[in-house]
Structure formats: structure tokens, C-alpha cells
Amino acid sequence: MTRIVLLPGDGIGPEVTEQARLCLAYLSERRELNLSFETHDFGGAAIDRHGEPLPEATLAACRAADGILLGAVGGPDWDDAPARPEAGLLGLRAALGLFANLRPARVIAGLEHLSPIRGDLVRGADILIVRELTGGAYFGTKTIDAERASDEFAYTREEIERVAHVAFAAARRRANRLTLVDKANVLATSRLWRQVVGEIALGYPEVAVEYVYVDAAAMALITNPRRFDVILTENMFGDILSDELAVIPGSIGLLASASTGTERAALFEPIHGSAPEIAGMDVANPAGAIASAAMLLDHVGQSEMAFLLRGALDDVLSSGTLTADLGGGASCSEFGEAVRTRIDARL
Ligand code: NAI
Ligand code: MG
């Protein structure tokens, strides 16, 4: 039995999570994957019912799970609430020790015109950013007075090693190329990153490693995105570059993410937020949630099923069945249904 915890959350979270769950359940029934699903309150919905965004029962279920599929949290309803929905997300990340954030983005064949970048530049782009999530400037000691402020920017060998292993393992499942993005010409932390990554690379001889400064990488993502396969980088650079990458495919509704850590359970979620202005209208794009479900299948050892689900998703998108964010007329549930029809065709 593979235990999947669903945290639909707020806004469009429940709608897109439901389409992803239906896809997983469909695969599970037809291929006897033995996936079990349980839904728990999280975010603003949990504040309304329990007074806190991450209730004890939700956290306990997440700790016991093999994978967690999250929708989105937040919205204007909780702007003045004493507890913040986002605090639930931070609490969950901390509790599960999630130190690696995986952000894939692909330009799907036939959909190049949706990208804000010229089609001939983005055609075939398929990139995974692996961002370190718990170290660096965001978590260092901070000082501030009227005249001076500082943010300690530190990394330990161990912090670099564990996320580097995640990135090399991912490169091995993909095109066997890894780019370490840093600023080794000016930052001491970057020099340690290069040293440690160079050592770890010896254990992955099939993976070709290159080193690129973050400013050059920011340009190359736009001018030559096909040059990248896996990008490994520290927390702040990863924060910025992953948002840059997210605009390339054409809608944030398409994009998935995974966060893995020290526990068995990993967290899978579309990168978009709760989009309150379209919540409950059955118009949200569930592709990012469905692609997140595919990453969950990889995590629980069902990579063949993950491949199949991604293929079905690509089929639907390439065939022009698109939701409103991509200029199409399909509803959220129609899109999900179309993916399940393609699953059937591919099984
Ligand atoms: P957002 O991602 O919710 O929306 C940005 C724009 O993209 C909106 O125009 C929205 O309609 C559209 N959009 C987003 N996802 C879509 C989808 N699946 N299909 C079609 N269109 C989609 O970001 P925004 O508006 O900045 O934040 C709204 C709320 O979500 C806020 O309360 C924010 O704090 C929260 N949020 C939560 C996140 C999470 O749960 N991980 C991440 C980002 C924001
Ligand atoms: Mg960001």
C-alpha cells in the first residue's frame, strides 16, 4: 500500500488536486498500484475549521505518508486572520526537513507559440532546477541597525552534498547533464559548492558537469534554454532562476514541483497559488497539479506510470485541448477527463 495524503488547501487548490487524484486513482485501479488516498485540512481551510493552518492530525498523516499532494494555500479571506495559511507551508517544510526543491519546465511540442520567448529558441527546452531550500542567505544570522544590515550567507559541506546527490540522481534519469550555477568568482560559498560538487561528480561518471556563473545562466535561460538539462544551485539563486524558468512554457498553470527531504514523505505541488479570482469556476488549469502527481509517482517507485501520465498530459496539450489560461475553452474537469482518456489509450 502506498499512502498518499492530499492537502487540497484553498482557492483553486481543491479543483486541481481533485483532477490529479482522479488521474492517480485511474492508474491505480487499472494497474493495481494499490495507492490509498486520504484528504486533510490545510492552509486557510484548516484555519477556518481548527484555528491553525497545520493541525496536528494533518502533520501526523503527512509524516506517515509516502507522498503528499498539495493544491495551494492562501487568499484574501485570511488576510486579517490571526494565523496565516502560508505558515502551514513553512511548518510542513520544516517538519519534513525538505532541503531540495525540484522545479521542472518543458516546452511541449506544438505549444512553442505560448512562450513569451521566440519559438525557435524554446523549442524542445526541458530543464529541471534543483534548488537548495534550507541554507544560504535566507537562513543565516541577520543583523540590522539604522546604519548597517547583514545577512550571513553560509553553507556546510553536508548541506551541499545532500542536495547535490538529489541533482545527480535526477540527471541520471534525464539527459545526464548537470550545470552548477554559482558565483564562484566572488563568493566563498560558491567555491565550496564547486569543490564538493566536483567530488560528488566522481560517483556519477556518466553525468557531464559544467559550471556557469548565475548572471550568465540568467541570460542563457532566455537565449539558449536547450543548453541546460539539470541546473543545481543554492537557495537564493534558485529562487530567482526558478521563477525565470517558470515563464518560459507560457502559463504557471502548467508547472509542477517537488520538495524532498530527510523523511520518507516528499511534497508535490503545482507552483501556482490559490488564484482566488477564478476559484470554484472549474476553469483553472490542472496540468501543473497532474504533472506534480507524475513526480509523486516517480518518488514512490512507479516511474513507468509517471512516464505514462506525463505522456498522456503531453498528448492532451499537444492536441490543443487547453484551459482558458492558454487561450483554450476546456474546463478544469474536461481537461482532467481528457488526460484520463489518453491514459487509457496509452495503457
Ligand atoms: P497565483 O499563482 O494564485 O495567480 C497568479 C495568476 O495566475 C492569476 O492571474 C491566476 O488566475 C493565474 N493562475 C494561477 N494558477 C492558475 C491555474 N492553475 N490555472 C489558470 N490560471 C492560473 O498567485 P497570486 O495571485 O500572487 O496569489 C494568490 C494567492 O495564492 C495568495 O494568497 C498567495 O499568497 C497564494 N500563493 C500560494 C502559493 C502556494 O500555495 N504554494 C504560491 C503562490 C501564491
Ligand atoms: Mg519565488
Residue nearest to atom 25 of ligand 1 (CA): 275
Please report the pLDDT score of residue 319 as a whole number: 96
DSSP output for 270-284: ESS---GGGTTTT-S
Ligand nearest to the CA of 70: 1
243 counts as catalytic: yes
Give CA–CA dist 53/74, Å, rounded: 10
pLDDT < 70: residue spans in the chain: none
Q: Which residue has the cell 495507492?
A: 35
Q: Which residue has the cell 481537461?
A: 335
Please answer whether residues 166 and 102 qualify as being in contact, where contact means their C-beta atoms are separated by less than 8 angstroms: yes
Q: What are the residues whose beta carbons fall under 8 Å from the beta carbon of 175, sequence distance 6 or more? A: 126, 229
C-alpha cell at 117: 520567448
Q: Is 252 in the pocket of ligand 1 (CB under 6 A)?
A: yes
Please answer whether residues 312 and 339 qualify as being in contact, where contact means their C-beta atoms are separated by less than 8 angstroms: yes
Please report the pLDDT score of residue 81 as a whole number: 87
Q: Judging by DSSP bridges, how do beta strands 230-233 and 208-213 pair with one another?
A: unpaired
Domains of the chain: 1-102+253-347 (3.40.718.10), 126-247 (3.40.50)
Q: What are the residues whose beta carbons fall under 8 Å from the beta carbon of 328, sequence distance 6 or more? A: 320, 321, 322
Q: Which residue has the cell 512562450?
A: 115
Q: Is 108 in the pocket of ligand 1 (CB under 6 A)?
A: no
Please report the pLDDT score of residue 87 as a whole number: 94
Does the global pTM surpass 0.80? yes
Query: Which residue in the list 138, 151, 213, 282 is annotated as catalytic?
Result: 138
CA of 257 relative to ligand 1 center, distance in Å: 14
Q: How many residues does the chain have?
A: 347
CA of 236 relative to ligand 2 center, distance in Å: 9
Residue 126 assigned ligand-binding role: no
CA of 330 relative to ligand 1 center, distance in Å: 19
What is the phi-psi region of residue 103: left when phi exceeds 0, alpha when psi lies from -120 to 50, beta otherwise?
beta
239 counts as catalytic: yes
Q: Is 278 in the pocket of ligand 1 (CB under 6 A)?
A: yes
Please report the pLDDT score of residue 265 as a whole number: 93
